[in-house]
Amino acid sequence: MEKTWRWFGAKDIITLDMLRQIGVEGIVTALYDVPPGEVWASEAIYSLKDHIEQAGLHWSVVESLPLAEEIKYGAPERDRLIENYKASLSNLGKAGIKTICYNFMPAIDWVRTDLHRKLPDGTYTLYFDKIRFACFDCMILQREGAEKDYTTEELEKVRLLYNRMTEDEKAVLIDTIIVKTQGFIHRSISDGKTDPVQAFKKLLQLYKGVSKIQLRVNLKYFLERVIPVAEEYGITLCIHPDDPPFPVFGLPRIVTGEEDIEWILDAVDSPANGLAFCTGSLSAGIHNDVPALACRFAGRTGFAHLRSTGLLPGGDFIEASHLEGKGALIEVIRILEKQRPHIPMRVDHGRLMLDDVEKNHNPGYSFYGRMFALAQVEGIMAVVQDEIESGKC
Nearer to ligand DNO by Cβ, of 103 and 146: the residue is 103
Distance, in Å, from the CA atom of 385 to the CA atom of 192, rounded to the nearest integer, reads 47
Nearer to ligand DNO by Cβ, of 154 and 260: the residue is 260
Q: Minimum distance from CB of 160 to ligand DNO (Å)?
A: 31
In the set 101, 162, 322, 349, the catalytic residue is 349
Active site residue 51: no
Active site residue 58: no
Q: With binding defined as CB under 6 A, does residue 185 bind ligand DNO?
A: yes
Phi, psi of 279 (to 5 degrees): -60, -35
Q: Which residues pair with 274 in a beta bridge?
A: 238
Distance, in Å, from the CA atom of 251 to the CA atom of 235, rounded to the nearest integer, reads 30
Q: Return the range that interacts with ligand DNO (CB under 6 A); candidates 80-88, 96-104, 202-210, 257-265.
A: 96-104
Active site residue 348: yes
Out of 240, 253, 322, 334, which residue is the one contacting ligand DNO (CB under 6 A)? 240
Alpha carbon 386 to chain centroid, angstroms: 31
Q: Minimum distance from CB of 215 to ligand DNO (Å)?
A: 16
Q: How many CA atoms lie within 13 A of 285 on its CB side?
A: 23
Q: Minimum distance from CB of 276 to ligand DNO (Å)?
A: 7
Active site residue 135: no
Q: With binding defined as CB under 6 A, does residue 243 bind ligand DNO?
A: yes
Nearer to ligand DNO by Cβ, of 240 and 334: the residue is 240
Active site residue 116: no
Distance, in Å, from the CA atom of 262 to the CA atom of 93, rounded to the nearest integer, reads 26
Distance, in Å, from the CA atom of 188 to the CA atom of 176, rounded to the nearest integer, reads 15
- Nearest CA to 278 out of 95, 109, 58, 78 is that of 109
Active site residue 221: no
Residues in the chain: 393
With b meaning 16 or more CB within 10 Å and e meaning fewer, what string describes 298-332?
bebbbbbbbbbbbbeeebbbbbbbbeebbbbbebb
Q: With binding defined as CB under 6 A, does residue 103 bind ligand DNO?
A: yes
**356 membership: H or E segment, kind and range:** none
Q: With binding defined as CB under 6 A, does residue 110 bind ligand DNO?
A: yes
Phi, psi of 90 (to 5 degrees): -70, -35
Nearer to ligand DNO by Cβ, of 25 and 109: the residue is 109
Q: Return the range that interacts with ligand DNO (CB under 6 A); candidates 33-41, 101-109, 200-208, 267-275.
A: 101-109
In the set 240, 242, 260, 361, the catalytic residue is 240
Q: Minimum distance from CB of 109 to ligand DNO (Å)?
A: 5
Q: Return the range that interacts with ligand DNO (CB under 6 A); candidates 29-37, 100-108, 326-334, 338-346.
A: 100-108
DSSP per position, 223-264: HHHHHHHHHHHT-EEEEEPPSSSS--TT-----SSHHHHHHH
Distance, in Å, from the CA atom of 357 to the CA atom of 125, rounded to the nearest integer, reads 11
Residues 324-383 binding ligand DNO (CB under 6 A) are 364
Counting residues that bind ligand DNO (by CB under 6 A) gives 11
> What is each CA distance from 361 to 44, 168, 170, 204, 346, in whole angstroms?
24, 22, 22, 28, 17
Q: Return the range that interacts with ligand DNO (CB under 6 A); candidates 102-110, 211-219, 224-232, 244-252.
A: 102-110
Residues 41-70 binding ligand DNO (CB under 6 A) are 63-64
Q: Minimum distance from CB of 393 to ligand DNO (Å)?
A: 29
Binding residues (CB under 6 A) for ligand DNO: these are 63-64, 101-103, 109-110, 185, 240, 243, 364
Annotated catalytic sites, by residue? 240, 278, 305, 348-349, 365
